[in-house]
Amino acid sequence: MSSPLLTRIAAEHAAALAAQPPAPASLAHRRKALQGLLERGLPTVRDENWRYANLRILEKANFTPGTAVGSADGIDLPAAIEGFTRFVFIDGQFAPQLSAPTGARGAATLTRLQGELPTDQQAFALLNEAFATDGADIQVTAGAATVDIEVLFYSAAPTAAYPRLNVRLGANARLRLIERHVGKVTTPQFINSVVRVELAAGAAFNHYRLQETGAATSWTDTLRATVARDASYHLHLLQVGALAARSTVDVELAGAAASTRIDTVALADGPQVHDTMIVVDHKATHTRTEENFRGIAGGRARIGFNGLIIVRDSAHHADSAQSLKGLIAGSEAEIDLRPQLEIHTDEVRCSHGATTGKLDDAMLFYLLSRGITPEVAQRLLKWAFITDVVAKIDVPALRTHVQRSLASHMLDAQSLQELLS
């Protein structure tokens, strides 16, 4: 497959390798990944699962990653979450001066991921593999205590970045991981991240993923998780930043009684486009999924959420529940929610609900009848719309941060202070 875009990506790739030659092994797999991408091609909006993504923005993207070693100068990192060991990447490069020491820390070992990250053949995962030079590898062996880690990817320069994370939990291991993507860059920038999660039997992983990149950023990410018997994967997705964001999440419930809960909040305003595609594949008996989505689109923003639940014939007694809700808060805003079920066995319990609407008139009138202005009332109701899903974040300091981040998009400073105090 060839296209002007792929040709340009190949040229940028060759130039990047020439400018910064990697080790021979790395060179081979990066070339192989590029080859895979060129053969496969990038998705287009004609692809049913990509029709709500803003892919046109890629035509203007620069794919070459920055080469500068992340510097701490002049960088105002967001406050750390107490109790979480922090590792920082600046413009895709590990920043040791801002991070805890790598290596073993109790049950967890964090090392730099500079080799191959085995992923599927998804186009954006291949693109990441072809260009990425750094990343984090987190391994947690069985341990009684929960390990708390924060990995912060910070964009300081308007270059492309390819964050990557490999997370593996041994049997019955427990990890809480905050994965934050923060950017202050206001000029166009391409960020394309990959996360791989593998949970062994009985492991429990709470994954808090915050996308708060810059206002002109083009963001894509590919997350693949495999969940073994009795293991649980709770993913919190917060989609706030970027001009165009597309998240692709695949969760495989591979072992009996494996479970996942995915809580997503997307706030888009002005010209933003947020598109999320989540596939949960139930492959074993008594597997469970709970999926909640709350999206608010203001201005002329577009939000797409496509949640596909597959229940294989091997997955009897599977249980899944989807609650998808969209709030249209702009005259030209659009929200498209698609709960989908693909069921290959009889003994299952699957429920789904998807509603998109405007602000509730009864709630609005109640607030007006108390003297609240229409403008403030609308902001309060937007806040009310997402609050149940945000409340599921069980790390109080992080929840407060997320609440403040979300509220800052819809409330004035004083209301925010009072509402959250």
Q: Does 413 bind another protein (CB under 8 A)?
A: no
Residues 376-405 that bind another protein (CB under 8 A): 376-377, 380-381, 383-388
From 137-145, 175-183, 338-346, 368-376, span contacting another protein (CB under 8 A): 368-376
Between 237 and 389, CB nearer to another protein: 389
Q: Residue 400 corresponds to which amino acid? A: T
Q: Closest approach of Cβ 155 to another protein, in Å?
A: 31
Can you point out the beta strands (E) in 228-272? 232-239, 244-253, 259-268
Residue 296 is inside which H or E element, if any? Answer: strand 288-297
Under DSSP, is residue 405 helix (H, G, I), strand (E, B) or coil? helix
Under DSSP, is residue 220 helix (H, G, I), strand (E, B) or coil? strand
Query: Binder to another protein among 20, 101, 368, 396 (CB under 8 A)?
Result: 368
Q: Closest approach of Cβ 359 to another protein, in Å?
A: 11
Strands 288-297 and 318-328, bridge-based pairing:
parallel
Cα torsion 60, 63, 68, 73: sign: positive
Residues 338-367: x/- map of binding to another protein (CB under 8 A)? ----------------------xxxx-xxx
Q: Does 308 bind another protein (CB under 8 A)?
A: no
Q: Closest approach of Cβ 370 to another protein, in Å?
A: 4
Q: Does 373 bind another protein (CB under 8 A)?
A: yes
Q: Does 83 bind another protein (CB under 8 A)?
A: no
CA neighbor of 142 nearest in space, from 210, 87, 204:
204
Query: Binder to another protein among 100, 321, 343, 372 (CB under 8 A)?
Result: 372
Q: Does 141 bind another protein (CB under 8 A)?
A: no
Two structure tokens written together for 107: 């049950």
CA neighbor of 265 nearest in space, from 323, 213, 319, 219:
323
Between 48 and 418, CB nearer to another protein: 418
Q: Does 64 bind another protein (CB under 8 A)?
A: no
Helix, strand, coil fractions of the chain, as percent rounded to 5: 25, 40, 35
Chain-centroid distance, C-alpha 225: 12
Which residue ranges make up the site for another protein (CB under 8 A)?
360-363, 365-374, 376-377, 380-381, 383-388, 415, 418-419
